[in-house]
A and B are shown apart, each in its own frame.
Chain A
């Protein structure tokens, strides 16, 4: 015979279990619904013209070529800058900062920067690059994206360098390698998988960023390779077209949203695979 107390505990536990199953189901259902509508609304709009034609005037035929190109250019430039800053800063935190106060401050503020609202980064870049130099530009957009990606790479680089065994550093130094060479050719090399993972995650983060591009790169209706002028980007075009009153613009917005979501998901999955792969011996 179970006591009343035991039965009570069993019932409470049962309710708890059902609750956990239920909320997980609800959460997954919501997320499945989002992906489903993305596919349903986006696939119809995806055709060759999306990649070969530029953003159209309402009513005429067009695609997203200039926006895709602008996004690629800004992301590539932003990632390059972020990689340089992020890897060096992460290296400083892991190899030189030690327990210093300054290191702790940088570490802490980098973590805060990591989750700071991206729109504020946009305002900052507007303040230092757009407003004083008299114009929106792709370079400003790339700078904003770089500032969003760099903390992610810094964090990843520091974490993965800290995992490298001290013997690795000592043996390189014992062979007469200067410290900078040790870091360059031994530590960075053995940490390359982790740094790559961080870089991919940073890339996934900035490909969909809209807010900071609104007032740094602005937008451009035409095909342009000139990054010193306003530059189109996929997220900003999606934003503009989704809120428009034209059906064909909205169709393009959905197609663009699907493109971005697929890119982000693919990059995240690749990052996970890279992270899981055993390090080269």
Chain B
């Protein structure tokens, strides 16, 4: 938008036609422009820093950096497969757990909730989306883990028939930490965030659309499944992917509870690591160049994965919603 006051052609422009102080206009615009560019540069800076810093690791290990699961700072051999698999596995499990619940909560708030409770429950969900992840991490380690060990891990390990696939899946030390525990904590963390976004989306469905379906005699389930959800489909996929992006990059909560061991997790109770937890644990202690570089290379991989997920999510959600 340009709103500079131009004098009409042919007339002798009076001096006052150009408002006092207008010479500052281009400077102000340049200031605003450089601030916007600074944000762009920051994102570019992240990728450049990680690429330059991580390059030696890719160069030294080659493709083995991605495929090998050996991570040994003593011999300076680094393979990212363990954290990579851990990241994808925990995030996918977390999404699988929290997705139905988030949809259920959002639908409850929009379709079923008594009007009196709508506001308090909605507010509670939104507030909890802002609780820092370190709080979830502490709760996970000190409250959830002992409970999980006694009431989930032990019974499951006892119940598994020896030699069966299930036994392979649930082996480990029943101390309450591990891949599955981390995934559950992640699921609890991203749940309020996704539920709040899905609720916002469902509220954008025009009331007429919903009412006309009810007018035709549809049940609530039918209205939700064939009218409101299809109406918000692309936005809902975007919201879910934003949740996935969070789960992929989440650091502190996972670091507390995943057990932080390198290599491939052998079962869902086994301890493991994610890219973010590995960086958080080792970065300040990394002394060799190869070690630091491998951690930055891990960061680059995380960046590429989350950038793809978040970018797609933003495209699907569009500009109208947060």
Residues of A at the B interface (CB closer than 8 Å) are: 9-10, 12-13, 16-17, 19-24, 26-28, 30-31, 33-34, 37-38, 41, 84-89, 91-93, 95-98, 103, 105-113, 115-121, 123-124, 126-128, 147, 150-151, 154-155, 169-170, 173, 176-183, 201, 204-205, 207-211, 214-215, 218, 235, 238-239, 242-243, 250, 253-254, 257, 260-261, 264-265, 268-269, 272
Known interface pairs A113-B43, A205-B130, A210-B132. Does A13 touch B222 (Cβ–Cβ under 8 Å)?
yes
B121 within 8 A of A: yes
Whether, in the assembled complex, B307 has its beta carbon less than 8 Å from a beta carbon of chain A, the answer is yes
Q: A92-B32, A109-B39 are in contact. Are A27 and B101 (CB under 8 A)?
A: yes
Q: Is the CB of A178 within 8 A of B249?
A: no
In the complex the two chains form, is B121's CB within 8 Å of A28's CB? yes
Residue-by-residue, is B98-126 near A (CB-CB < 8 Å gives 1, otherwise 0)?
A: 00110011011101100000000101111
One digit per residue, 1 when the CB lies within 8 angstroms of any chain A CB and 0 when it does not, for chain B 132-160 equals 11111111011100000000000000000
User: Taking the nearest CB of chain A, how far is it from the CB of B196, in angstroms?
Assistant: 11
Q: For chain B, what secondary structure do more than half of its interface residues adopt (helix, strand, loop), or is it mixed?
A: helix
**Are B133's CB and A208's CB within 8 A?**
yes
From B61-69, B263-271, B277-285, the one touching the partner chain is B277-285
Taking A147-B42, A265-B130 as known contacts, 20 extra A-B pairs with beta carbons closer than 8 A to each other, sorted by chain A number, are A21-B112, A30-B188, A95-B1, A96-B33, A107-B319, A108-B311, A109-B40, A112-B310, A116-B46, A119-B276, A123-B53, A127-B50, A176-B5, A210-B252, A211-B251, A211-B276, A214-B280, A214-B284, A257-B135, A265-B131
Query: Closest CB-CB distance, B298 to chain A, in whole Å?
Result: 10
Supposing A106-B36, A112-B307 touch, asked if A183 and B251 sit within 8 A by C-beta, the answer is no
- A21 CB contact (under 8 Å) in B108, B127, B249, B306: B108
Give Cα A108–Cα B43 distance, bound, in whole angstroms: 11
The 8 Å CB contact of A31, one of B31, B124, B138, B284, is B124
Docked CA distance A176–B53 (Å): 53
Are the C-beta atoms of A178 and B19 separated by less than 8 Å?
yes
Inter-chain contacts of A265 with B (CB < 8 A): 127, 130-131
Q: Indicate whether A264 sits within 8 Å of B130 (C-beta atoms), given known contacts A98-B1, A112-B310, A116-B46.
A: yes
Tell me whether A127 and B53 are in contact (CB under 8 A): yes
